[in-house]
Amino acid sequence: MEERDRIFLKAPEKKFEFDETVAAVFDDMLNRSVPYYKEVIELIVDLILAREKDDLSILDLGTSTAHLLLELYKKRDFSISLRGVDNSLAMIERAKRKCMAFGAKEIELIEGDLRDFPIEQEDVVVANYTLQFIRPLDRPKLINRIYKGLNSDGEFYFSEKVVFSDRHLDKIMIDTYYDYKRKQGYSDYEISTKREALENVLIPFTIEENIRLCKEAGFTQVDTIFQWANFVTFRAKKL
């Protein structure tokens, strides 16, 4: 049974990081903090598997506890190569234990820095709620490497928390999200302390900025395939 996220019941002593404390409750944190997380994963999995290509190569950047890879593993009916990379050793260790529990020995999990991890000959690259934790100056380089590392007709799926240029709309979206978190059992104090811990750690872009980064890297087709308030999932295709 997964542990309950109670990390922010007290004031944070440091900025947010993906250490063992976070890794231990991360699945619960995702399910209660990210609206429609499971549905987004299911959507991406279904779109990937709809390619129906043998030996499909999939790389999950910021794989955390390997939820996406395990869903692909369970639903696949043709041969696929599944790799996940995360710069948090605590996350990779958790992911390995989960994969062992499901007998998913074929899933390769690697501790590595996403900013220079080699990306070569991939059919699909996924980065769910990952780019927002990469320094803004480093994001164009990473997306460029993703584009170059994809095979022809390759796809890049990524989900992000976003901001809006219209400040009034942005505030409404933030308030809507906080109401969502309250319904998931988080107190106003927990919401406030987590916001403080994430300040200058999670740096969101607008929808337009995310699309522009992809197009500047070479992707000609970039679509939003899901949105709820200030959470958006994109698909960029290499044609």
**Structure tokens that stand for 51 in this block:** 């390619």
Q: Are 45 and 75 in contact (CB under 8 A)?
A: yes
N- to C-terminal Cα distance for the chain? 43
Query: What is the residue-level pLDDT of the chain in tens, covering all 239 positions?
Result: 457 756 565 665 666 666 776 667 777 888 899 999 999 999 999 999 999 888 999 999 999 999 999 999 999 999 999 999 999 999 999 999 999 999 999 999 999 999 999 999 999 999 999 999 999 999 999 999 999 999 999 999 999 999 999 999 999 999 999 999 999 999 999 999 989 888 889 999 999 999 999 999 999 999 999 999 999 999 999 99
Instruction: Please tell me whether the overall predicted TM-score, pTM, comes out greater than 0.85 for this model.
Output: yes
Alpha carbon separation from 153 to 45, 80, 125, 184, 210 (Å, rounded)? 17, 16, 12, 39, 20
H-helix or E-strand containing 58?
Answer: strand 56-61
CATH of 11-164+197-237, picked from 3.10.28.10, 2.60.40.10, 3.40.50.300, 3.40.50.150, is 3.40.50.150
Q: What ranges do the domains of the chain cover? A: 11-164+197-237
Question: Comparing C-alpha atoms, which of 114, 176, 178 is closest to residue 146?
Answer: 114
Question: Comparing C-alpha atoms, which of 54, 84, 52, 56 is closest to residue 70?
Answer: 84
**Structure tokens that stand for 141 in this block:** 């380089």
